[in-house]
Amino acid sequence: DAGITQSPRHKVTETGTPVTLRCHQTENHRYMYWYRQDPGHGLRLIHYSYGVKDTDKGEVSDGYSVSRSKTEDFLLTLESATSSQTSVYFCAISGLAQSSYNEQFFGPGTRLTVL
């Protein structure tokens, strides 16, 4: 168990509302990632972080922002949710000294529905 949790686990919201998803880790991994999973697309990287206050865009970053103010928390925000952002969102972590830096551990996921 890599000590990674996501909240909420399920959320239903309406188009145009802001939504924030939280990823929390307990093991001091350097890297944190947000992915979305959609049928036929596998997992696609939204944003990732390589340290506190250090973030970068992934392949599907439009409409999403992130923040990492402390090592253990990585927040994903949809400023104005749209129906195309209905998806399952996964957080992942990597970079602990004892394991390969590119071996990622995944959270349980958040199912988001935008009506």
Q: Considering the complex, state which of residue 46 and residue 78 has its C-beta at the smaller distance from other proteins.
A: 46
31 binds other proteins (CB under 8 A): yes
Q: How far is the CB of 69 from other proteins (least distance, A)?
A: 20
Q: State the Cα–Cα distance between residues 49 and 106, nearest whole angstrom.
A: 15
**Measured CA distances, 111 to 4, 23, 38 (Å):** 16, 13, 11
Q: Considering the complex, state which of residue 13 and residue 111 has its C-beta at the smaller distance from other proteins.
A: 111
Q: Considering the complex, state which of residue 48 and residue 64 has its C-beta at the smaller distance from other proteins.
A: 48
What CA dihedral angle connects 45, 50, 55 and 60, to 10 degrees? -10
Q: Candidates 13-21, 67-75, 79-87, 101-109: pick the segment binding other proteins (CB under 8 A).
A: 101-109
Q: Candidates 20-28, 60-68, 71-79, 92-100: pick the segment binding other proteins (CB under 8 A).
A: 92-100
Beta bridge partners of 83: none
Q: Which residues bind other proteins (CB under 8 A)?
A: 31, 33, 40-45, 48, 50, 58, 90, 92, 94-95, 100-109
